[in-house]
Structure 1
Amino acid sequence: MKNIEALIDDGGDITLGAIYPIKCAATAADGHNSVAMLVRREGETLNALLKRLDKAIGKFYDGGDAVDEINGC
């Protein structure tokens, strides 16, 4: 999960857990921007959610496009 590692090495952070009313979400921020906000899918493992988060962070690094599943963007 190279993109998560790079984000954290650069001072960013990730969070896993409930964000009311969502039962489980994964978020990533680089200190200035929200990079990704994902909602855990029904039946999705935490490992699969982390892999999707890693890909979403990579998408942000490649083109500056944040992924937001929480706010419907």
Structure 2
Amino acid sequence: MKHIEALIADGGSISIGALDELECVAAASDAHNSLAMLVRRDGETLAALLKRLDKAVGRFYADGDVIDEVNSQSD
């Protein structure tokens, strides 16, 4: 979880929990940006979700790509 550790060391944060109608969301942000918002998949373990979040944070640091599964949800 090196990317999450670096984010937190730099004053960023992560959160995990319910969001509106979504049962479980993992989010990472720094002081200015949302870096990633991931929706927990059916059958996905919490450990697997955190691993995906770490990869998403790493992708933001490498390429500036924000992964937003929350706002891209279809109704």
Percent identical among aligned pairs is 64
Deviation at 1:31, TM superposition (A): 1.0
1:42: which partner in 2?
42
> Partners of 1:8 and 1:31 in 2: how far apart?
11
Deviation at 1:35, TM superposition (A): 0.2
1:33: which partner in 2?
33
1:17-32 correspondence runs (5 A): 17-32=17-32
Query: How much is the aligned-residue C-alpha RMSD, in angstroms?
Result: 1.0
Large movers: runs of 4+ above 2 Å: none
Gaps of 5+ in 1: none
TM-score, normalised relative to structure 2: 0.95
**Alignment coverage as a number of residue pairs:** 73
TM-score, normalised relative to structure 1: 0.98
Tell me the SS of whatever aligns to 1:31.
coil
